[in-house]
Amino acid sequence: MKNIQLISIAVLSLVFHTTYAQQDAQYTQYMYNTISVNPAYAGSRGVMSVMGLHRSQWVGLDGAPRTQTLTLNSPIGENERLGIGLSVVNDEIGPTNETYIGVDFSYTIPTSEIGKLSFGIKGGAHLLNVDFQELVQFNQNDALFENNIDNKFSPQVGVGVYYHTNKFYLGLSAPNLLETNHFDESSTSSDSDAVSFLAEERINYYLIAGHVFDITDDLKFKPALLTKLVFGTPLQVDVSTNFLMYERLTLGVAYRWSAAVTGQVAFQISDAMMIGFAYDRETTELGQSQFNDGSYEVMLRFELFKKYNRMLTPRFF
């Protein structure tokens, strides 16, 4: 019961007479899920790539975030300069359930014999559901929580730019440029200072970068960086280091600045199929809670090769 009250207090503090700056879903294995944050990535692997990911955050805490993601992206056309992608994300936390559906388009320009620069645009929809009956309410007669929110729609438009070679990548993006207030239209108040909306969609800016170093013929090393900026919230910085051995096994560790440490493992089951797993442990006081057993991610990627029977030069990103 205590952990139910903890999450209820947290959610109520966000929605009652206050503004909540909402952030996008969080990923530890972001290096395999780039299409979700940068539309310019669509088609950059040169093959059709399908990826599914499940994340359970703060396991043991009732109402903690859970995220399911399904993405698809592929180059199209004879010269493969055009790319297309699809992203579906379901994000749950406490009484809220959010679904994002996005379609991505990219155009790639060769900048040298080894470098390519891609520009992308994302269009999509966001659906918000809030079931107030799941909350432990302090005031059972509060009019703000009388009516649930069902499939409240808001549009999304995003942009991105992505430069890459076979060894290096750098991207800058904003998956949604539209700032939307999610509110309960049925709630009214004579108090002009009262705030009726529950969450404000703010722009999430992403900077990603990584480089692959060949240690030996059978060992590659890739440091990577993801930085997320949302005005009104702390800056998120994820730094990871991964080792790819014999083009099959990937082992890595990561650090989310002032938030968590992570262990990662991935295995290339075949040329077409890859599975990955990650575990986060909070470095904040939340990580010391007896109700928090850490965060888990499971990822599965499947790729179809059009021109070759296998990918001739396996990409580490």
pLDDT digits (tens, 9 = 90+) for 83-95: 999 999 999 988 8
Domain annotation covers residue 38: yes
pLDDT at 12 over 60: no
89 belongs to a structural domain: yes
Q: Is the confidence at residue 187, as pLDDT, over 70?
A: no
286 falls within a domain? yes
Query: Does residue 313 fall inside a structural domain?
Result: no
Average pLDDT over residues 212-229: 94
Q: What pLDDT is attached to residue 66? A: 93
User: What CATH number is attached to the domain comprising 101?
Assistant: 2.40.160.40
33 lies in which domain range?
A: 25-180+202-306
Q: Are strands 295-304 and 96-110 parallel, antiparallel or unpaired?
A: unpaired
Residue 15: pLDDT band by 50, 70, 90 thresholds? very low
Is residue 281 within 8 Å of 254, Cβ to Cβ? Answer: no
User: Of 7-11, 35-39, 40-44, which range is least confident?
Assistant: 7-11
Strands 197-201 and 21-22, sheet pairing: parallel
- pLDDT band, residue 31 (cuts 50/70/90): confident
Is 211 within the bounds of a domain?
yes
| Residue 138 belongs to a domain | yes
Instruction: Read off the pLDDT band of 285 (50, 70, 90).
Output: confident
For residue 168, pLDDT beyond 50: yes
The predicted structure's pLDDT at residue 77: 86
- Distance between CA 231 and CA 223 in Å, rounded? 27
Q: What is the mean pLDDT of residues 111-127?
A: 95
Task: Give me the chain's average pLDDT, please.
Answer: 83
6: pLDDT strictly greater than 60: no
Number of structural domains the chain divides into = 1
Mean pLDDT of all residues in 189-201 = 51
CA distances 95 to 4, 65, 103, 136, 153, Å, are 11, 10, 27, 10, 17
Query: 21 falls in which pLDDT band (50, 70, 90)?
Result: very low
In a domain, 142, yes or no: yes
Global confidence as pTM: 0.83
Confidence at residue 25, expressed as pLDDT on a 0 to 100 scale: 80
Residue 237 inside a domain? The answer is yes
How would residue 274 be classed by pLDDT, with cut points 50, 70 and 90? very high
The mean pLDDT of 272-281, rounded to a whole number, is 94
pLDDT tens digit string along 230-240? 988 889 999 99
- Cα–Cα distance between 183 and 244 in angstroms, integer? 46
